[in-house]
Structure 1
Amino acid sequence: MQLQRRRAAGTVAIAALAGSWMVAIPPGQAAEDATVDGAQHETVVVDGDSAGRTFDGLGAVSAGASSRLLYDYPEPERSQILDYLFEPGYGAELEILKVEIGGDTNSTSGAEPSHMRTPDEIDCGRGYEWWLMREAQERNPDIKLGGLQWGAPGWFDGGFWSQDNIDYLLNWLDCAEQHDIDIDFMGGWNEAGYDQEWFVEWDAALDEHYPDVQLTAADDTPYWGWRVADDMVENADFGDAVDIANMHSPCGWRSTYAECSSTQTARSLDKPLWIGEQSSMAHDAGAAPLARGANRMYIDAAITGMMVWSPISAWYSNITMADTGLMVAEWPWSGFYDVGDSIWSYAHTNQFADPGWRYLDTGSERLESGATQVSLVSPSGDDWSAVIETFDMDEPSSVTLQLENLPGKQLQVWSSDLRTDDDADRFRRAGVLTPEGGSVTLDVEPGHIYSVTTSDGQGKGDAQPGASVDERLSVPFQETFEDVDHGRTARYFSDLAGAFEAAPCDGDRDGTCYRQMLAEEPISWTHVGEVPLSTMVGDPRWWGDYAVHADVMLEEPGYVEVGGRVSGQSWGSPASGYHVRVGTDGWELFSRDHAGAAEVSLASGDESIEVDSWHEVILRMDGDTIGVFLDDRRLAEVQDTTQRTGNVALSVSAWDNAQFDDVRVVPTAGEPKFVSKDSMSASATSEHGFFQGWTYGAEHVIDDRPETEWSSAFDPPEGLPQAVTVDLGSVQRIQALTYQPRLDGNTNGMIRSYEVHLSADGETFEEVASGMWSADSSTKVAAWPKQRARYVRLIAADDDEGCGDATATAGELGVVQAKGPDLTTTPPAPPRSPLPDDAPEEFDHLVSQAEMSATASSVHSDPYIPCRSVDGDTSTFWHSAPAATGPLPASVTLDLGQDRDVQGLAYLPRQDGNPNGNITSYDVEVSTDGEQFTTVTGGDWADDDTQKYATWEPTSARYVRLTASAGHFDVAAAAELHVAEAP
């Protein structure tokens, strides 16, 4: 929209505009030419007769188990959080709330329960979304409420786009009515496409049963853009059925939201355009992008409503996408919460314009300074507001608002300065402006949000939690389920997949137990597949010296799992940690990595449990000793150092019913004495700023929040080494450093080759520990003889193999005091085979990948370089050049470091679900000098992602070359290569 400039019509009367400078442009001087002290001045005409589209509000999406832990918060903290979200004149004042219609399947950070698990039963009390909607509606009776599906029950005849689903949704609306909840809009399937005829039928059903409920479509991903608008034009029946067109992330995905988009077709629909979902991002990163998006959605794209996922980050910090919310509330045992700047970003719009106000097209525009402004007027025309955000301004400026056809009332000014760390600079009443001669002038500075209004009722909530972030859930912890209502979720238990709830005990046991209820595979949004149906409980920061006790009972053949030291879970994959699996076919103890979800068997046996009988399972962890007990019988005791910290998981084989009772977590040893993080500060050789919705400052390694992280600058020119240094605040006697890697499922930047240096004065450092860590999410320990120091420096060293990341990351660092239990670095247990148990016997002895290096005849691009095939990480892979530029054959050559008697090659294709590169025809050659190679075997492999093997007679060689002569899509890829050595 073209900036309109006018001469200033008068001077400005200023009343106590604290912390800001104001300038009146002298009459007769052109605004575009006016400068004071080098600052630019612009004039924006705000015309009350230029009313455009109707403002629908800024809201949020509670889905993917995002609000799970909020329900368990104590009072008064829970009500305080709800006030910050929904109470008018207090905080964000959310005007729209969309909730997930549960389907018992993982929908991002967990699974939400269904109200109809079979066609013959309805339970309107399940879940916490009803409660959240009631609380929102009680605080703001005018809030718009809606529902959307991520998954659905598997009993639908005809799948998702069926009459069964329409009936299912009508029953959900009946449940809402029972809860006295007024639903305003309904949708289809989140980010899974749409069926136009189904929407027409869905609209007809709404017209018959709930005529006041509007229909919105299509909750598409940015990939599809506004295709729903094109289909609404081409299909008149579909166009008539849909009342509100929406899409996800039209301002970019977890970006700065600098530009929003819609199409001319969408804008010509004469229907509201909404952002069905935009990410709210991290607590310290989302405020500025959201302020941009709130203005630019209308200026750029004529969008009038926005919803962010999520209103509150209230799920465990070691589950995917943690710290994505307007607020953060992950600590229900203590009541701690973090308001976050995004609350005030939203407040600058929602507290100054109600749904039903109209945007003023003359007065809503991008300014030449880089700022943006939207102006809105009330339906009566008696009040108006303007919101100005300055996050893309380079220098201070001044804006004259030339008022036309608007009341000349006194204007209240509110401002937020996001450049400081002081909460007093957020959403403060900055002063009063009185128009003179039809204009007012407001000077604005970069990094701010300003709201100017004739209305009243604004306010800033001042409640604070009565606890600190470092308060942990205490151990021992016990849940007997006797105080949990049947059909409801137990306190602190959060489902990852499946449906766990309190139910009458079976198997000749009285009382209440915890039952996995799901009996058939649901229609899944994330395509979870046959992973264990799991629920998590406990504090992700638990030090792992504890035992998990659980009584278990299978209702049908299958298995149950009891897990501990769960460092994380990502995107529907099984929970990490140590797990003991006990079932009708025997038992197994295994360790599972977070990022790659790879399972390594530690022990197993034939002892089994029968159906309909109760047994006690104990997983005992004490240092590097892991024990398994069944009914007081010790089944195994092994040594393993893979997992060290985390909470607890209970799992059931899919899609089986089973029960748990008397779940206890008891300590097995004293916890190390850590230096208090309240006295610490942190610095780093480099830091990355904002990226995909998070920030990466060094302070994150000591904030006691596992989901935040430090990262060195992405691909800095100097690469590794990079370092982060912790100042303890005073000289202390210390013995170890704990390193918790990132927990977002990504291995990039995980520190492998490390050094730890200590200093008393911050000038002279001495190395006290070094070594190699595995690239996984488990907490690592570096220990040294006890000594005094104030500064602890962790260095991510270059591994000199050409395969190390150019960056370094860390989630949390802990420094262990010399007092308390000794914490020495236990030598790693002998490496266990990464190959399946049914691997050929030739693979009993493997050449260590740490002694290998890899080269290739063809490479696609970084990060698909050859060394990814020998990095021990199944989520990474080597990939040959694209077929168009480098068709097969292509080879990867392994240098074993020295001559060895080799007799086999194990090949694991890429594990990301994409078949491109699956090697289907191959040859293996060996060499002692790297020049002359001899073929030892060849053949064909199946075009799938299962483990493959090639064997030959033992042959002395230093180099082993795998050549792909044929592969899926005429390319080759390898996640992992292992070489078998003769005994």
Structure 2
Amino acid sequence: MRRRRRLTGMASGLVAVAVATVGLVEAGPASADGTAATDPPAAAAGTQDIVVIDPASPGRTFDGLGAVSASASSRLLYDYPEPERSQILDYLFKPGYGAGLQLLKVEIGADTNSTSGAEPSHERTRGDVDCDRGYAWWLMKEARKRNPDIVLSGLQWGAPGWFEGGFWSQDNIDYLINWLDCAEQQGLEIDYMGGWNESGYDEDWFVAFERALAEHHPDVRLAAADDEPHRGWRVADDLAANPEFGAAVDVANLHSPCGHRTLYQVCQSTQTARDLGKPLWIGELSAMAHDAGAEPLARVANRMYIDADITAMMAWTPISAWYSNITLADTGLMVAEWPWSGFYDVGDSIWAYAHTTQFAQPGWRYLDSGSRRLSSGATVVSLLSPDGGDVSAVVETLDATGPGSITFDLSEAPAGELQVWSTDFGSDDPADRFRHVGTVVPQGGQATIDVEPGHVYSVTTTDGQAKGDARPSADVTGQLAIPFREDFEGIEHGQLARYFSDLAGGFEAAPCLAGRSGTCYQQQITEAPISWGLVGELPLSTLVGDPRWWGDYTVRADVMLTEPGYVEVGGRVSGQSWGSQASGYHLRVGTDGWALHSRDHAGRRDVVLASGEEAIGVGEWHEVALSMHGDELGVHVDGVRLGQVRDTTQRTGNVALSVSAWQQAQFDDVAVTPTARAPRFVPKDEITVTATSEHGFDRGWTREVENLVDDRPETMWSSSFNPPVGLPQSVTLDLGRTQPIQALTYQPRLDGNTNGMITSYEVYVSRDGETYELVADGTWSADSSTKVAAWDRTTARYVRLVAPDDENACAETTAAGNELGVVSATGPELETTPPAPDRADLPPDAPAAFDHLVPQDAMTATASSVHSPPNVPCKAIDGKRTTFWHSAPAVTGPLPASVTLDLGAGHDIGGLAYLPRQDGNLNGTVTSYRVEVSADGQTFTEVAAGSWQDTPAQKYATWSPTTARYVRLTATAGHFNVASAAELHVGHVP
């Protein structure tokens, strides 16, 4: 950065206007030549703080702000058209334009799902190294092209299955050395390497890896241990205790030391960590939604150093560029899910980063004298350039209690005027983001600025800052057109097809086999990888298409098996999350016959709708087609209809291709063609929406009612649950004018969580907004598929969806949804979605101890701890697999935790059936337990203890029948150190 020249003449007059607008206080009123008068104006009323900028002050070296591209988070960015793709990359990486990322960590792919997809491995079998596979190389080169000084890192989430000795093996060290060799071939210098993301660490392995790096890539340094946040800074203790481990590792890091998807108000480290003499980094922190994470990230940028001496932070992810119906969609500094149209949204998080990255570079030094929490609740960090010639200070007032002023004591600092930039996060005007607001000329070694709550200010002696202004030419409404076809010709072998995003496995272009010429799409992975433990392994599948597609289409593909097994073509995929299969209809065709499945990723249902013995052979090409037209589903192989059923469980979504586990198979000529006209919807940009309540910020997303009509399936509205307001709740749509309408569509949440899904509904319409008429009511199943409430065509301007109250004491207390649509009566007629059961019956193979069950409606439940409503104890006995009890967070209420059932009367009981939560999230799955019983609720006797697998499968504990009224399940260990239960059943002897 260069020292900014003093503004003179006309420019100084403009600055004076800006200063007056935002309340900057110069040391004296600006004169025509930019100098200051001797009498400064009085500071605004409020808190006043003095910040000393002392170059002699101690302070650690600033290492930068960056991002983590992993879990296929950047997949769709690669397919963006120009100029939009370059515009996005500029916002992320170009200095003096947008976020100006200073660090970039990428996943070293392993063809295993690592949250929102799978990234390709460079060495799928031993010795078969392909240095051109995947898009991480491309992303790093684009980043370094824009910022030659960007720091690059690599980290693993999973690993290939061919390793001997598992992850912490010599095979893995060799694998990583080969990856670094590939980086060199790509013209990339990697700065840091890590171990295994959120999966612990092996001290001896790090020591051995450092020795290998010293021999083959001596400039690469090691960071450890990318640990889960609830593990704390245990790596610091081990680095201090083990001299070899300590000497091998250059940077100690931890994930989310400021909280996980929270407001990030307090950051933490330990004294042991601070005394290591090593940089402390945030190895990963959730960026949260691009329009909700800005303020939390701005807090972290300051507070990580003030609170914890942390000098660098990387957020997952730089760009939310994966399909909106996959896990954690819209988590990034920007969002870019629409490569077919080129639409993207910049988001405030870009400017939260810019307030630091455009004013200080890695290598600058924090000044402890000017880095602290202020009396108003604001924070400030001050930094000095390596040559001592420039200073910058970043002030965030996001938790300030009121306006105030800050006086910078610059008597020992570099002289010169200060440029001030500001962002008002409370404003709805984009012009109030990252705005140059004026110049302050120090007088007598001091300069004062007035500050307002909800802002971030950057004060600097440097120049070169700018606010990028590129915009996409398309808007969010542009869908990927149907018909859609991909014949894979023209794709370089080993590369990905446009818009195809792998959920698990490795799909890539390859020469067609079995006598077929040209290029096909082949699943390549033949051995189970070492998967990332938080997700586990999924069926091998890849996703393509627009998640907003209305499902009246046929998906067809030519398929070929290389060995006995099956392939699937799927449609109407509404979502996929956390260890679950993709939802929708899936036609399975293989050497054992065929079957048509209906799946939901939230409720984990997989229902076979139809099946047959007609099979396909190995090494043969066959045309497979699944046709969907309203409730009619057709199964076709080689042009012959093998079956037809009626079902409306699934309504909307894109397309999936799948292969049976760990075998190669090929696809060609994938085509999606319409079978009927899509419904005609009232344009969402003509609709305004209100609700009886909304929640706002929740775990990194906004839950505002406008999300219901933003044409983005992943954004969500929720009624207020903190404080809880209960049901009924309603949403009212104003269509802008009276018009003929016939149906309402409801897209439930797609994050794998069923809380708030509207299961009982009423729909009312009105012409005047005063008098409403009931036109539809009923029940919907608690799953992710799009629901329809239809009625006789009528004319109205207002449509109201009501989630009514339920007399059941354990009913849902919130209502939520992702998208609402109103279907015009000028389009095709729709039928309402039929209700579906949501009971949690035990499977038929349950042990004999459960032949007779104590009725759940006779029980009551209490727990030793509760996370928050609606995950209260009675959810474990409400008969629904889609709700659950959850213990308190591990930070405030670690295990053990228990839930106690009062059976209402004494019974001879001999078993407890435990169903873990079924929403695709393993958190809380009980892995170690004990069961106790009691006759009086006071004295309990242990009757069973043991361990269960960390899976969502039904689990049992049995014992010799004994008479008791109370049963207590205590979780002594559980996934993520918490406990949860979707359903508990007690078996008794009649």
Q: 1:909 aligns with which of 912, 915, 933?
A: 915
Give 1:838 shift.
Answer: 7.9
Q: Residue deviations 1:826-852, cap 9 Å, x none?
A: 5458999977698999x99x99x9x99
Q: 2:134 aligns with which of 123, 127, 139?
A: 127
- Taking a change above 3 Å as real, the CA distance of residues 692 and 886 of structure 1, as seen in their structure-2 partners, is closer
Give 1:246 shift.
Answer: 0.8
Separation of aligned partners in 2, 1:700 and 1:268 = 46
Separation of aligned partners in 1, 2:537 and 2:66 = 35
Say if 2:439 is the partner of 1:432: yes
**Equivalent in the alignment of 1:30:** none
Amino acid in structure 2 at the alignment position of 1:211:
P
Say if 2:579 is the partner of 1:572: yes
| Mapped contact 2:297–2:353 kept (Cα < 8 A) | yes
Identity of aligned pairs, percent?
A: 64
Provide structure 2 residue ranges, at least 5 long, that are not aligned to the other structure.
1-11, 29-40, 888-893, 935-943, 958-962, 974-978
1:404 alignment partner, SS class: coil
- Name whichever of 829-838 and 729-738 sits farther off: 829-838
Amino acid in structure 2 at the alignment position of 1:667:
P
Separation of aligned partners in 2, 1:968 and 1:877 = 13
Amino acid in structure 2 at the alignment position of 1:800:
E
- Taking a change above 3 Å as real, the CA distance of residues 22 and 917 of structure 1, as seen in their structure-2 partners, is closer
Say if 2:73 is the partner of 1:66: yes
- Taking a change above 3 Å as real, the CA distance of residues 802 and 101 of structure 1, as seen in their structure-2 partners, is same
- Taking a change above 3 Å as real, the CA distance of residues 358 and 831 of structure 1, as seen in their structure-2 partners, is closer
Q: Residue deviations 1:4-40, cap 9 Å, x none?
A: xxxxxxxx997343421244789xxxxxxx9856422
Q: Residue deviations 1:602-655, cap 9 Å, x none?
A: 111222111111111111111111111122222221111211011111111111
**Equivalent in the alignment of 2:23:** 21
1:15 alignment partner, SS class: helix
- Taking a change above 3 Å as real, the CA distance of residues 277 and 218 of structure 1, as seen in their structure-2 partners, is same
Please show how residues 368-767 of structure 1 align to structure 2 within 5 Å.
Answer: 368-526=375-533, 531-714=538-721, 716=723, 718-767=725-774
Separation of aligned partners in 2, 1:203 and 1:463 = 43
| Mapped contact 1:203–1:215 kept (Cα < 8 A) | yes
Say if 2:815 is the partner of 1:808: yes
**Equivalent in the alignment of 1:855:** 859
| Mapped contact 1:530–1:654 kept (Cα < 8 A) | no
Give 1:572 shift.
Answer: 2.8
Give 1:965 shift.
Answer: 7.1
1:362 alignment partner, SS class: helix
Amino acid in structure 2 at the alignment position of 1:641:
T
2:194 alignment partner, SS class: strand
Q: 1:318 aligns with which of 305, 322, 325?
A: 325
Say if 2:105 is the partner of 1:98: yes
Amino acid in structure 2 at the alignment position of 1:20:
V
- Taking a change above 3 Å as real, the CA distance of residues 840 and 648 of structure 1, as seen in their structure-2 partners, is farther
**Equivalent in the alignment of 1:958:** none
Give 1:792 shift.
Answer: 1.3
Separation of aligned partners in 1, 2:895 and 2:402 = 50
Give 1:122 shift.
Answer: 0.3
**Equivalent in the alignment of 1:792:** 799
- Taking a change above 3 Å as real, the CA distance of residues 164 and 819 of structure 1, as seen in their structure-2 partners, is same
| Mapped contact 2:302–2:381 kept (Cα < 8 A) | yes
Separation of aligned partners in 2, 1:829 and 1:698 = 27
2:60 alignment partner, SS class: strand
Amino acid in structure 2 at the alignment position of 1:876:
F
Give 1:689 shift.
Answer: 1.8
| Mapped contact 2:26–2:440 kept (Cα < 8 A) | no
- Name whichever of 721-730 and 967-976 sits farther off: 967-976
Give 1:793 shift.
Answer: 1.2
| Mapped contact 1:546–1:669 kept (Cα < 8 A) | yes
**Equivalent in the alignment of 1:57:** 64
- Taking a change above 3 Å as real, the CA distance of residues 947 and 22 of structure 1, as seen in their structure-2 partners, is closer
Separation of aligned partners in 2, 1:500 and 1:859 = 46
Provide structure 1 residue ranges, at least 5 long, that are not aligned to the other structure.
1-11, 27-33, 895-904, 924-938, 951-960
- Taking a change above 3 Å as real, the CA distance of residues 662 and 834 of structure 1, as seen in their structure-2 partners, is farther
- Taking a change above 3 Å as real, the CA distance of residues 836 and 504 of structure 1, as seen in their structure-2 partners, is farther
1:53 alignment partner, SS class: coil
1:82 alignment partner, SS class: helix
Say if 2:145 is the partner of 1:143: no
1:175 alignment partner, SS class: helix
Give 1:580 shift.
Answer: 1.2
Say if 2:261 is the partner of 1:254: yes
Give 1:512 shift.
Answer: 0.9
Give 1:66 shift.
Answer: 0.4
Give 1:300 shift.
Answer: 0.9
- Taking a change above 3 Å as real, the CA distance of residues 372 and 917 of structure 1, as seen in their structure-2 partners, is closer
- Name whichever of 968-977 and 150-159 sits farther off: 968-977
Give 1:963 shift.
Answer: 8.0
- Taking a change above 3 Å as real, the CA distance of residues 367 and 979 of structure 1, as seen in their structure-2 partners, is closer
Separation of aligned partners in 2, 1:701 and 1:816 = 15
Equivalent residues, number: 925
| Mapped contact 2:44–2:404 kept (Cα < 8 A) | no
Q: Residue deviations 1:171-193, cap 9 Å, x none?
A: 10110001101111111111111
1:52 alignment partner, SS class: coil
Separation of aligned partners in 1, 2:728 and 2:659 = 44
| Mapped contact 2:861–2:873 kept (Cα < 8 A) | no
Separation of aligned partners in 1, 2:296 and 2:899 = 43
Separation of aligned partners in 1, 2:825 and 2:442 = 67
| Mapped contact 2:384–2:391 kept (Cα < 8 A) | yes
- Taking a change above 3 Å as real, the CA distance of residues 621 and 835 of structure 1, as seen in their structure-2 partners, is farther
Amino acid in structure 2 at the alignment position of 1:910:
P
| Mapped contact 1:565–1:648 kept (Cα < 8 A) | yes
Q: Residue deviations 1:193-238, cap 9 Å, x none?
A: 1111111111111111111111111111111111111111111111
1:81 alignment partner, SS class: helix
Separation of aligned partners in 2, 1:437 and 1:888 = 70
Amino acid in structure 2 at the alignment position of 1:914:
T
| Mapped contact 1:91–1:344 kept (Cα < 8 A) | yes
TM, length-normalised to structure 1: 0.88
Say if 2:285 is the partner of 1:278: yes
Q: 1:876 aligns with which of 865, 871, 884?
A: 884
Give 1:51 shift.
Answer: 4.3
| Mapped contact 2:570–2:656 kept (Cα < 8 A) | yes
Amino acid in structure 1 at the alignment position of 2:925:
N
Amino acid in structure 2 at the alignment position of 1:687:
E
Separation of aligned partners in 2, 1:892 and 1:616 = 59
Please show how residues 150-189 of structure 1 align to structure 2 within 5 Å.
Answer: 150-189=157-196
Separation of aligned partners in 2, 1:940 and 1:215 = 42
Give 1:412 shift.
Answer: 1.0
Separation of aligned partners in 2, 1:219 and 1:727 = 48
Q: Residue deviations 1:920-961, cap 9 Å, x none?
A: 9999xxxxxxxxxxxxxxx999978866999xxxxxxxxxx9
1:54 alignment partner, SS class: coil
How much is the aligned-residue C-alpha RMSD, in angstroms?
3.5
Amino acid in structure 1 at the alignment position of 2:23:
W
